Amino acid sequence: MSKPKKQDFSILVVDDNKENLKVVSNFLKTEGYQIALSLDADDALNILKENKIDLILLDVMMPGTDGFTFCRQLKKNDQLKDIPVVFLTAKTETSDLVEGFGVGGVDYITKPFQKEELIARVNNHVALAHAKNQVIKQAEEIQKINRTKDRLYSVIAHDIKSPFANISMLISSLAEGYIDTGSEEYNEVLQNINSSTQETYTLLINLLQWTRSQTGDLELSIEEITAESLISSVVRFMGQQAAKKQIDLSYSVSEGLTMKADQNMMKSVLQNITGNAIKFTKPGGKVFLNAFQKQDRLIIEVKDNGLGISKENIKKLFVDKGQLTTRGTNDEKGSGLGLLLVKEFVQRHNGNINVESTEGEGTTFTLCFPVQE
């Protein structure tokens, strides 16, 4: 575990005696700590609300709100309750010490201050606070890894296993000669195998990219690309899927429009959004991609005249828990991973994404990126 750097820690000293504040401040500044000073509880509370404080040195005997009362208030505040409080006091009676620990204090430093004792106790509690934060971060990382693992198992078990079983069954029907070669049914089975294979492949790519992004293994490879080449490539790639549903897939790009981006990531973003547009648009509908520059922003829109999305479900589109897996107009399946990837990849390009939709009329996804000179 890494040692804490003192300059990264902020200590709030609360004492109604200016001379005491000066002494403690000088001791701690010499050690390299960041220091905030306050003469009373009200001012201290304002400092705590506006600044990140790692440790509080709190005088017990103060006019107005005394140290014990102020500590009780802090421990009832969800945002401040975990900050360790060390009391500064000349009161050394056992009852006073017990009361201080009872209200949530972690230690005492007696007045008059001895520099070596004060520094030793502060260093000790800073190290403890640092260790606690490290443990919390590690616990969060473990939870994140477990969520990734659970998602992997879920997608593999349900969203990949099922289409593979369907593909295997269809191929077996052809291999065993149950369907006459060249018949209409034979051609329908081949198309079914082809579409199921494409959908499963897209899902697998999304799964691999999402897993790599969660483990930090997915790095950006930035290059200058033209919006025309990016969008035309996506339209070609999605063309067969659109044609199968008799959907008019088209695009328009402002001349000379370029962006600095990871080409593969951006293709994945637009393929996922365009794929969803096709998925939720009825046969005979339209999907249109449009790219243009507006002031210092590059805008890419994906519009459809499909089913639309309710306001309630729009809020769930990019959420990692309970994301939507609604079936498309032709019963197409999805894992919910696609839009999670979209959000993450867009953010990694310093962009943002907006969704506007009217149920029964269609949806527009708008991607907005800074134009880089």
DSSP string, 232-248: HHHHHHHHHHHHHTT-E
Q: Which pTM does this prediction carry?
A: 0.52
Task: Give me the residues of the chain with pLDDT under 70, please.
Answer: 1-4, 92, 148, 150-163, 199, 202-203, 206-207, 209-218, 320-338, 372-373
Helix (H) or strand (E) holding 273: helix 263-279
> Which residues are CB-contacts of 147 (< 8 A; sequence separation ≥ 6)?
320
Cis peptide before 112 (omega within 30 of 0): yes
Phi, psi of 61 (to 5 degrees): -90, 100
**Cβ neighbours, 10 Å, residue 322:** 8
Query: Distance between CA atoms of 110 and 123, rounded to whole angstroms?
Result: 16
Phi, psi of 3 (to 5 degrees): -75, 145
Superfamily of domain 7-113: Response regulator (3.40.50.2300)
> Which residues are CB-contacts of 103 (< 8 A; sequence separation ≥ 6)?
68, 71, 72, 75
Contact indicator for 127, 4 with CB cutoff of 8 Å: yes
CATH 3.30.565.10 maps onto the chain at 220-373
Query: Distance between CA atoms of 62 and 78, rounded to whole angstroms?
Result: 24
pLDDT of residue 335: 46
- Quote the Cα angle for 321-325-327, to 5°: 170
Query: Distance between CA atoms of 207 and 237, rounded to whole angstroms?
Result: 19
Which CATH code, of 2.60.40.650, 3.30.565.10, 3.30.200.20, 3.10.105.10, is assigned to 220-373?
A: 3.30.565.10
pLDDT of residue 39: 92
Q: Give the 3-state secondary structure of residue 117.
A: helix
CATH 1.10.287.130 maps onto the chain at 144-218
Phi, psi of 311 (to 5 degrees): -60, -40
pLDDT of residue 72: 92
CATH 3.40.50.2300 maps onto the chain at 7-113
Q: How far apart are the first and last CA of the chain?
A: 42
CATH number at 144-218: 1.10.287.130
Tell me the two tokens of residue 114.
């001895």
Contact indicator for 72, 45 with CB cutoff of 8 Å: no
Contact indicator for 71, 104 with CB cutoff of 8 Å: yes
User: How many residues are recorded in the chain?
Assistant: 373
Query: Distance between CA atoms of 105 and 97, rounded to whole angstroms?
Result: 9
Tell me the two tokens of residue 229.
């080449």
